[in-house]
């Protein structure tokens, strides 16, 4: 599974981190960091993260 | 004809419901009926980035999941009535749409002020059309803006108007502080100071008696007789639930649609409600049914309601626990953010500063019977990050039902 976050849109809300902590995290400066190619077993979590992102900045590509 | 679920309302709640019906295993037909001509779009930027011109209107559209590619979208047409016992809804053009299951997702519309005066120049902010009209007026040079209502939408619009270079921005509210209802005095005072420092004026403790002007508004008359000159007025005085189409079915529609703890309506297992319009008891708190106008709620309600509805229609026992979401809310005003987790409104009697100080970044805790029921951060990224650290504590809290007021 490929995950793309539009970093121009992302405003570091961190909602994705609660939904999918294995894929998204806030780094020490409070900026989003993420795994671009997570395991397919995490799909449900990543879909939830995409749903709850207030900026709708997360795209799942295949 | 095969089985069909009708979703009334094609905004975030309607879209998430359609997606979650598929996720819950519903393979029958899904028809989504929406009064607006648009596919579902995201509302928060309408008072923020998009109103400010920092993001285009086109960026608002949600990207529907592949699972809803076969959904039948009936847009630009409202549902005018429903006969729930017969499992039929009637559309504007008279079409009768039979259903096996129904999702109520018709949301809210802005409440309007009923005082005398012209209508032109007076705006509300709920739809794309609203925001387009308001943006055209806010971007005129030297414009004087009066915002009626110091709730979150009023505060956001005031901040955006200042950023757009409006000559004067004044917020009017009968309450003594902005957003004091949801936030309580401590944070509302901090919020007031931040707005004033950035050029927003306030007329607090004042109601609106009427509007001046012939063809369009030129001034706002307060109930003490003061007149505020205005080229543009924004009315952000709360919202009204879109439930008229459900009249005549014996439902409790006194404030949105009352649901049970599985989001079912009127004791009918084949009708559920989602989003802003649903008045649901939250098993995490006191069991009192409330509507929650937070962006997180359409997604949370849709996930639960879809499971309950599909389980009923397919004859399986979903074994669902009562609905118990952790509400989350944010608001962006000027360059700072408010971030809330939990139910601060239930703990306004016992407010403590958990971190920072109200003059700068601050994190505030709201308590009921001594235990934390909500946190709100005000400020920059550090404060918001601090709020996030309390989220897991809030999730672990035992339910407050023991002390609850029975519904
Ligand atoms: C300007 C603005 C800014 C916001 N900012 C924030 C924020 O910063 N943070 C936050 O947490 N929340 C925010 N919110 C709240 C959030 O956007 C709402 O909670 C969310 O939109 C609710 O979605 P919904 O689908 O339940 O209802 P709605 O979005 O109200 O959708 C209901 C839809 O149903 C349609 N409809 C109504 N009647 C009928 C009928 N009879 N037949 C068919 N269709 C019908 C309506 O036209 C509408 O499209 C904001 C809201 C607004 C308006
Ligand atoms: S939820 Fe969205 S805005 Fe927030 S950090 Fe994640 S991607 Fe960025």
B381 contacts A30? CB cut-off 8 A: yes
3-state secondary structure (DSSP) of residue B382: helix
Mean pLDDT of chain B: 94
Q: Could you tell me if B59 and B45 are in contact, meaning their C-beta atoms sit under 8 angstroms apart?
A: yes
Separation of alpha carbons B257 and B99, rounded Å: 19
**Residuewise pLDDT in 10s, chain B (407 residues):** 589 999 999 999 999 999 999 999 999 999 999 999 999 999 999 999 999 999 999 999 999 999 999 999 999 999 999 999 999 999 999 999 999 999 999 999 999 999 899 999 999 999 999 999 999 999 999 999 999 999 999 999 999 999 999 999 999 999 999 999 999 999 999 999 999 999 999 999 999 999 999 999 999 999 999 999 999 999 999 999 999 999 999 999 999 999 999 999 999 999 999 999 999 999 999 889 999 999 999 999 999 999 999 999 999 987 899 999 999 999 999 999 999 999 999 999 999 999 999 989 999 999 999 999 999 999 988 888 889 889 988 988 765 543 433 33
Instruction: Tell whether B385 is within 8 A of chain A (Cβ).
Output: yes
Nearest CA to ligand 1 atom 3: B44
A52 contacts B385? CB cut-off 8 A: no
Separation of alpha carbons B290 and B14, rounded Å: 20
pLDDT score at B405: 37
pLDDT tens readout for residues B104-129: 999 999 999 998 999 999 999 999 99
Separation of alpha carbons A18 and A40, rounded Å: 18
Of chain A, the percentage scoring pLDDT greater than 90 comes to 69
A13 contacts B330? CB cut-off 8 A: yes
**CA of B45, closest atom in ligand 1:** 3
Taking the CA atoms of B121, B126, B127 and B132 in sequence, report the sign of the dihedral they define.
positive
Helix/strand/coil (H, E, C) string of B48-106? CHHHHCCCCHHHHECCCCHHHCCCEEEECCCEEEEECCCCEEEECCCCEEECCEEEECC
Phi, psi of B12 (to 5 degrees): -60, -45
Model ipTM? 0.91
pLDDT score at B58: 94
List the one residue out of B257, B278, B270 whose CA is nearest residue B16. B278
Q: Could you tell me if B327 and B292 are in contact, meaning their C-beta atoms sit under 8 angstroms apart?
A: yes
For B371-381, b where at least 16 C-beta lie within 10 A, e where not — what string? Answer: ebbbbbbbbeb
Taking the CA atoms of B400, B401, B406 and B407 in sequence, report the sign of the dihedral they define.
positive
pLDDT score at B402: 38
Set out the domains of chain B in order of their start, with CATH numbers. 4-109+240-314 (3.50.50.60), 112-237 (3.50.50.60), 335-396 (no CATH)
3-state secondary structure (DSSP) of residue B372: strand
pLDDT score at A16: 93
Set out the domains of chain A in order of their start, with CATH numbers. 2-61 (3.30.70.20)
- Ligand that lies nearest to the alpha carbon of residue B332, given by its number in the listed order: 1
Instruction: Identify the contact set of chain A against chain B, taking CB-CB distances under 8 A.
Output: 9, 11-15, 17-18, 26, 30, 47, 51-52, 54, 56, 59
Residue B69 to residues B29, B105, B302, B391, Cα–Cα distance (Å): 11, 19, 18, 35
Burial degree of B208 (CB within 10 A; 0-12, 13-18, 19+) = buried
Contacts of B62 in chain A (CB under 8 A): 56
Separation of alpha carbons B380 and B385, rounded Å: 9
pLDDT score at B399: 59
pLDDT tens readout for residues A7-31: 988 887 789 999 999 999 988 887 8
Single pTM value for the model: 0.95
Instruction: Tell whether B43 is within 8 A of chain A (Cβ).
Output: no
Contacts of B65 in chain A (CB under 8 A): 47
Residues 6+ apart with CB under 8 A from B357: none
As a dihedral over the C-alpha atoms of residue B374, residue B378, residue B380, residue B382, rounded to 10 degrees, the angle is -40
List the one residue out of B338, B350, B337, B346 whose CA is nearest residue B373. B346
pLDDT score at B398: 63
Residues 6+ apart with CB under 8 A from B90: B79, B80, B81, B82, B83, B96, B97
């Amino acid at each position: 599974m490929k995950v793309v976050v539009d970093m121009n849109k992302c405003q570091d809300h961190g909602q994705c981190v609660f939904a999918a902590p294995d894929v998204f995290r806030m780094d020490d400066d409070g900026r989003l960091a993420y795994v671009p190619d997570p395991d397919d077993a995490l799909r449900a979590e990543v879909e939830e993260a995409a749903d709850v992102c207030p900026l709708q900045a997360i795209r799942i590509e295949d | 004809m095969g089985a069909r679920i009708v979703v009334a309302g094609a905004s975030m709640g309607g879209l998430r419901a359609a997606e979650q019906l598929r996720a819950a295993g519903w393979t029958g037909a899904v028809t989504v009926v929406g009064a607006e001509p648009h596919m579902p779009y995201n509302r928060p930027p309408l008072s923020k980035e998009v109103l400010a011109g920092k993001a285009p209107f086109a960026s608002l559209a949600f990207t529907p999941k592949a699972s809803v590619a076969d959904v039948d979208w009936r847009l630009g047409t409202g549902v005018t009535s429903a006969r729930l016992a017969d499992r039929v809804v009637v559309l504007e053009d008279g079409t009768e749409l039979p259903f096996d299951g129904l999702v109520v997702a018709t949301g809210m519309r802005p409440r309007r002020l009923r005082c005398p005066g012209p209508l032109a120049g007076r705006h509300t902010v709920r739809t794309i059309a609203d925001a387009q009209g308001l943006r055209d007026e806010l971007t005129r040079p030297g414009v004087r803006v009066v915002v009626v209502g110091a709730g979150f939408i009023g505060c956001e619009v005031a901040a955006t108007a200042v950023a757009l270079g409006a000559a004067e921005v004044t917020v009017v509210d009968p309450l003594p502080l902005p957003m004091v209802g949801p936030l309580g005095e401590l944070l509302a005072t901090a919020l007031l100071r931040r707005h004033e420092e950035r050029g927003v004026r306030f007329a607090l403790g004042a109601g609106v008696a009427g509007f001046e002007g012939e063809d369009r508004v030129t001034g706002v008359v307060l109930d003490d007789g003061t007149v505020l000159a205005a080229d543009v007025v924004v009315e952000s005085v709360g919202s009204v639930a879109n439930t008229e189409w459900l009249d005549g079915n014996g439902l409790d529609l006194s404030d949105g649609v009352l649901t049970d703890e599985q989001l079912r309506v009127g004791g009918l297992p084949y009708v559920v409600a989602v989003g802003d319009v649903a008045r649901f008891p939250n098993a995490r708190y006191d069991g009192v049914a409330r509507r929650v106008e937070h962006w997180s709620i359409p997604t949370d309600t849709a996930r639960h309601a879809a499971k309950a509805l599909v389980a009923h229609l397919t004859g399986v026992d979903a074994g669902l626990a009562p609905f118990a979401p952790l509400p989350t809310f944010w608001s962006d005003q000027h360059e700072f953010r408010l971030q809330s987790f939990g139910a601060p409104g239930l703990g306004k009697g016992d407010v403590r500063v958990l971190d920072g100080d109200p003059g700068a970044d601050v994190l505030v805790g709201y308590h009921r019977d001594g235990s934390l029921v909500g946190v709100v951060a005000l400020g920059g990224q550090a404060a918001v990050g601090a709020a996030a650290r309390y989220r897991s504590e809030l999730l672990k809290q035992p339910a407050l039902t023991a002390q609850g007021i029975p519904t």
